Amino acid sequence: MPAADTYFPILLLFVIAVVLAGVILLIARLITRFAIKPREGEAKYTVYESGVNPLGDARLRFSIKFYLVAMIFIIFDIEVVFFYPWAVVFRDMVKESPLILWEMLVFVAILALGYAYVWRKGGLDWD
């Protein structure tokens, strides 16, 4: 059995979850279509803004900090992904030679340098 078939159940769960969600939504729509008539009203269709009329568009500019978090995340997340293949072979390789640990130490040292730089520059401070 090819490897792709092992992961087929995940796709299947994905599809069935979507189908289930769609069917429930369809039932809900049919109920409001035929069984209960929802009330009409203009205010119903405005977005919620604490009870007053919405002021302008909500596609505002938001704080730069979110971009910073996203960028730091990408850097560190990729590091974590790099760690995984190493971690999978670690247990077997360490029995042969300790080199695998020292190699990773070098990697972590470089990472720690970058981390210290980001911290020092205030990239991790929210205020």
Partner 1 sequence: MKHPIETAAEQIRATAAEATETLNLGGAWPAGLPLETVILLTLVVIAVIAVTVVAGIPIVLVLMERKVSAYFQNRLGPTRVGPWGLLVTLADGIKLLFKEDMVPPSSDRKLFRLAPYVVFAASFAVVAVIPPFQSTVIGNMDLGLFLYLAISSLIVLGIIMAGWASNSKYSLFGALRAAAQIVSYEIPLGLAVLMIVMATGTLNMQHLVMDQADGIHAWYMFRHPFLFIGAFIYFLSAVAEVNRTPFDLPEAESEIVAGYHTEYSGIRFAYFFLAEYANAFIVSAICATLFMGGWAAPFPFLSGVPGVVWFLGKTMFLVFIMMWLRWTLPRVRVDQLMSLCWKYFLPISFVNILGAGVLALLEREEIGAQLGGMFLSAEAVSWIAFPFVLALLGWFARWGTEPVRRPS
Site string for partner 1, 52-81 (x = CB under 8 A): --x--xxxx-xx-xx--xx-xx--xx--x-
Q: Please report how close the Cβ of residue 77 comes to partner 1 at its closest, in angstroms.
A: 6
Q: Please report how close the Cβ of residue 118 comes to partner 1 at its closest, in angstroms.
A: 9
- CB closer to partner 1 out of 14 and 117: 14
Q: Are 68 and 86 in contact (CB under 8 A)?
A: no
Determine if 34 is a binding residue for partner 1 (CB under 8 A).
no
CA distances from 127 to 31, 71, 108, 124 (A): 49, 17, 28, 9
Chain centroid to CA 40: how far?
Answer: 37
| Binding residue (CB under 8 A) for partner 1 from 34, 41, 48, 53 | 48
Query: By CB under 8 A, what part of segment 92-111 binds partner 1?
Result: 92, 94-95, 98, 101, 104-105, 108, 111
Alpha helices in the chain (DSSP H): 3-6, 8-30, 65-96, 99-120
Structure-block tokens of residue 84:
């995984």
Q: Please report how close the Cβ of residue 117 comes to partner 1 at its closest, in angstroms.
A: 13
Q: Are 123 and 68 in contact (CB under 8 A)?
A: yes
